[in-house]
Amino acid sequence: MTAPQLIARALREAIICGEILPGAPLRQDRIAVQFGVSHIPVREALKELVADGLAVFVKNHGVAVSELSADVAWELTEYRCLLEGQMARWAVPSMTNQDIVEAKDILDRLDRETGIAEILKLNTAFHAAIFRAANRPFFLKSIEAIRTNLSRYWRLAWEELGHKPRSQREHRKILALCRKKDADAVGREMEGHIRETGSLIVSYLKRKSQGG
């Protein structure tokens, strides 16, 4: 992994877990000193974060962490529905027993997990286990980019809004439909699951913006 990729990964994780807050400036000088590098890899790392949607260029002020936005959260939710619903439909006919076992194991670990960082990783791993059999690498890459942008929004759902029990029930239903090889039903359930989480986050962000 290159220096820009390492720096981008560290900053990305700090933004997602809330160590660097929305609106916070990402100062090149400070980051360069922190990682012991020149400005060049820092600039490349910041470009990655901007491409992810986690940061924005601010005229005459450099780069800052992007604000949490209800509109952006819902647009990304709609995009996820289009991609992940279809990926599920493609994947189900080719899923093996091993794929099912792996997905179940991830859900079992999620049931026991309490740390938000690990919960988010396992949540992503479950979806990846469902989609792998679709064998659509370009779609997977797009999904990964969307999920990276949405990770800090999900943190609100899992940590502040207590979404884990409901999400796990929906995950279990998706897995049960995968066992039945009902591709259309899995796609619909995946879309409903995504919209439910998105609606929860959007409602929360709107309340926050209104001082609620």
Decide: helix, strand or coil at residue 25: strand
φ, ψ of residue 55 in degrees (nearest 5): -140, 160
pLDDT tens digits, one per residue of 55-64: 999 888 889 9
pLDDT tens digits, one per residue of 187-199: 999 999 999 999 9
pLDDT tens digits, one per residue of 69-109: 899 899 999 999 999 999 999 999 999 999 999 999 999 99
For position 105, what pLDDT does the model report? 98
φ, ψ of residue 94 in degrees (nearest 5): -100, 0
Q: What domains, with CATH codes, occur in the chain?
A: 3-65 (1.10.10.10), 70-209 (1.20.120.530)
Q: Specify the pTM.
A: 0.83
DSSP character string of 32-88: HHHHT--HHHHHHHHHHHHHHTSEEEETTTEEEEPPP-HHHHHHHHHHHHHHHHHHH
